Amino acid sequence: MTTSTSEPRFQFGDNWLRFLSVLTDEHIAEAERSMREFLGTDDLSGKRFLDIGSGSGLHSLTARRFGAAVHAFDYDPQSVACTEELKRRYFPDDPAWAVEQNSVLDAGYMQSLGAFDIVYSWGVLHHTGFLWQALYNAQLPLRKDGLLFIAIYNDQGLVSKIWEIIKRVNSSGEMGRTMTTAIFFPVFFVSGLLIDLVKLQNPARRYREHKKYRGMSLLHDWRDWLGGYPFEVASPERIIKFYENLGFELVNFQKTGHGFGNNQYLFRKN
C-alpha cells in the first residue's frame, strides 16, 4: 500500500502478514486464474511487470510464475516484508524479481524505474490520500502499447461517504478498531448467513470459495474493508475519461458486483 499523508492509516502490512499464514496453493491458483482472465493471457515471458503496492506479494508471484520480470514495491514496510517472504518461498535469490519500499506518489522514483510492459495496481491507488496524482504517476513508467491494469473503488455517493467515516474510525487506533470490528464483523457474518439461507446454499461455502476472488481470504478482506484508510472513490466515467485524455484506450473493464467494491480497468497506452 502507498500513502504519504499524516492522516490515520490502516496497517495493511499487518493484515497481509496474517494472510500469508493461511495462503495455500489454491489461493495462488485462483490468483493466476483471475489475472489470466482479465489480461487475456498467462504468457508474460520477456515482459516487464511493475506491481505498485504489492501487499501480500501474491500477484507479483503470479506475474513471475507467468514468466514476467517483476519489480514490486510498497510504501508499507510490512507489506514489503510479505512480498519478500513470498519471493523467498517460491523464487529464492531470483534476479528477475525485485522488491523494495517506495511510494507511487514519488514521481521521480516512478520515472527512474524504466519502461514496463504491464503496470499493475489493484485496490491501491485510492488509499494514497492523493488518488488523481497516484493515477497519473502510475502510468509514467509504462512503455508505448503497454498495459495498465488497475482497480479503483466505485463511487457510491452517500454510501461511500459513510464508509469513509467508518474506515477513518477503524484506523484511528485500538479503540476505533475494536469498536468497528465488534459492530461490523457480526453484521458481515449475519448478512452473509441470511443470504445463503435464502439461496438454500451451505453457509460454509462462502468462506471456502472466497479464494476464487483473486485468491483472497474473506476474513482478511473484512479487515481490509473496515480499515483501508485513506479512502477515495471514483466513477468509471471519471477514470476512463482521465486516461483517455492521457492517450490511453480502454481494452477491458469489469464493474464491481458489490456496489462499493473495486471496478477493474485495463488500458493500453497509445
Average pLDDT of the residues of the chain: 87
Listed in sequence order, the DSSP H helices in 40-173 are: 58-65, 77-90, 107-112, 131-138, 158-170
Phi (first) and psi of residue 142, to 5 degrees: -90, 130
Across the range 191-214, mean pLDDT stands at 65
Grid cell, residue 131, equals: 488518488
Domain boundary among the residues 194, 211, 226 is at: 226
Residues 128 and 186 in one domain: no
123 or 220, higher pLDDT: 123
User: DSSP assignment, residue 234?
Assistant: B
Q: Please check whether residue 5 lies inside any domain of the structure.
A: no
Does 147 share its domain with 241?
yes
2 has which bridge partners? none
- Indicate the pLDDT class of residue 95, thresholds 50, 70 and 90: very high
Whether 111 and 218 map to the same domain: the answer is no
Residue 258 near residue 136 (C-beta atoms within 8 A): no
Are 116 and 170 part of one and the same domain? no
**Domain range for 189:** 158-226
Q: What's the pLDDT score for residue 11?
A: 63
Nearest to 81 by CA among 60, 101, 102: 101
The residue written with cell numbers 523467498 in the block is 88
Residues with Cβ within 8 Å of residue 267, at least 6 apart in sequence: 139, 147, 148, 150, 243, 248, 249, 250, 251
Using alpha carbons only, give the angle 43, 46, 47 rounded to the nearest 5 degrees.
Answer: 75
Residue 64 confidence (pLDDT) above 70: yes
How many other CB atoms are found less than 10 A from the CB of residue 267? 26
Q: How many domains does the chain have?
A: 2
- 91 in any annotated domain: yes
Looking at residue 199, its pLDDT comes to 73
State the CB neighbour count (10 A cutoff) for residue 216.
19
Q: Is residue 201 part of a domain?
A: yes
Residues 164 and 151 in one domain: no
Residue 212 covered by a domain: yes
**pLDDT digits 0-9 by tens, 207-259:** 555 444 454 566 666 677 777 789 999 999 999 999 999 999 999 999 986 66
pLDDT in tens, 38-63: 999 999 999 999 999 999 999 999 99
115 in the same domain as 29: yes
Is 3 part of a structural domain of the chain? Answer: no
Whether 188 maps to a domain, the answer reads yes
* 186 in a structural domain: yes
Residue 39 sits in a domain of what CATH number? 3.40.50.150
Q: Looking at residues 131-153, what average pLDDT do you find? A: 98
- Judge if 206 and 168 occupy the same domain: yes
Whether residue 7 is contained in a domain is answered as: no
Pairwise CA distance, residues 251 & 245, whole Å: 15
Is the domain of 172 the same as that of 203?
yes
Do 95 and 181 share a domain, yes or no? Answer: no
**16 and 37 in a common domain:** yes
Q: Is the pLDDT of residue 9 over 70?
A: no
**Residues 163 and 125 both lie in one domain:** no
Please tell me whether residues 164 and 218 are part of one structural domain. yes
